[in-house]
Structure 1
Amino acid sequence: MTFQTRTIVRMVVILAAILLALFLASRSYPQITGEIGEEIDIGLKAPDMSFFSADTINLKVNSSDDVFAAGSTVNVDTTSADHLVIAGGEVTVRNVAIEDLFAAGGELDLVSGTVADDIVVAGGEITVRKTFEIGGSAVIAGGEALIEAPVPVDLRAGAGTVYLNSRVGGDARLSGDKVTLGPEAVVGGDLLYRTENLVIESGAVVSGQRRAMPAEDHSAFESWGRGAGELFGKLLLAATLGFAVLVLTVAVAVPSLMRSSAGFIKSRPLQSVGIGTLIAIGTPVAIVLLFASVIGAPLAMLLIAICLAITPVAVAATAFFVGMESRKIATKAEAPPTGWGGRLLWPALGALVILLLGMIPFVGILVWLFALLFGLGAVASRGGRALAVSA
């Protein structure tokens, strides 16, 4: 077993030992509750944040924190939480006591319960029944929206068809192919609508003004698009110059690291990209696990700082490799350049090549990905030794 392999194995073993120790130490203080399966029935008291995912979920949770659930069919009943976030094909909510509701589904049925503050829901067919109590505002978007529950503050609803048959304490902004105010609809503020088919049935009351909202101004979007294009061009130019400056700075500051990393990429390309892939996949997982353990959060922050520092250096190492290989092809010279001109010109050329290839649609993503992986593996493998030589 080579020195390099032994070092990597030791690092993996040490990291695994640290993670195991952290989780064993924190088992008495779990911060996240979660369950995944095909069909799950959840009935528990969860003082901490909870995540559930399954094809069918029957949810009954008493939590003082946030609850997340996603599945094909989600039935929520007798649940308390701070924020309830649910998504599914068919979603039914009954007997809840929560602060805020965020829900998305193909068919969304809000039957009963109390939401102390706001609801934000989206779906194909949305029904908000009379027995569902809302304490704040409501934002609703979908194909069909039936609103029978009172909304104490403001209501914003946009759908193919909107039917409002309840009291709205503030303004009601309604848009759709057809907007109907039923006989029990009462709008305490203004009614602002965008539709060619507004129906106000007998008994409906609008205390404020009735105003048609202007159609969307496409010219404004075109102007925004032109401005966004100009901004993108400026950002692209700034990124190009910034990347070139980064490569040149690293090449001048730590030439031994760049030469050693470039040599590693050339001599062991598969090992370089393999190590880079392991680091790219393993580090985020380790960071999440460390944060989940709570007491490992400082180490997670340290890993994040290391990632932020090494990522641009890794890409710069790949750019340096591309530049130096281009020099060998063009000049047939094997020895590294000695003058400042060559030491700056060829790394800058490598950076330019990666930038140009990185702009190609679809292919560009792979270019940046492999530039990162190759450089990451090379810098991680040769970094310590190269810096020691420089010192």
Structure 2
Amino acid sequence: MSGNVEVVGGNVWLGEDTTVDGSVSIASGSTTIHGTVTGDVQAGPGTVTLGPTAVIGGDVSYAGTLDVQPGAEVEGDTVRDPATVIGPAEYPTGLDWIIAAYVLVMNLLLGAILLAAGPRFAQSVSDRFRGSSLTSAGVGLAVVITIPILLGLLALSILGLPLSQLVVCCSPSISGSRPSTAGSPWECGCCR
């Protein structure tokens, strides 16, 4: 096989008689190689097994686990890097509009099916919204304004400092993004 092999997900098995004249990239899943790969092997989360007849002409980088059986040959470096990420899959440039149109049509179709399947439920939701739309909007606005104010007041109290830091740190919806707390006394494990 000439060229690179790129797999987004699933299991990959290359037999003894298989030769890939290029690189092998697997985003996730298990990979078993008994044949020859002339280039690099990159694997995301999952298990990579190099069988006894495997020959890798380049480097092997992986994020999961590696099982190198006796007899397997790797000419390059073998590196475990948990940050190894393969992808995202690239689509041809003109395909973006087709995919967006497909998703729109499928969402509209699903909505029509749900309305046809439950007309009384759809009518009751519509009636409830018409009757209390201002109340719903007012409650939502009050929550959006009140929560940050309450967190600020809580932060002013001595007992509330660690709690408010934890809430802000762990809730990107409140802070907009996770702040860097590295090296501070308020560093929590979830912010990494």
Give the TM-score normalised by structure 1.
0.20
Higher fraction of strand: 1
Higher fraction of helix: 1
Give the TM-score normalised by structure 2.
0.40
Question: Whose RCO is larger (CA < 8 A, sep 6+)?
Answer: 2
Q: Which has the larger radius of gyration?
A: 1
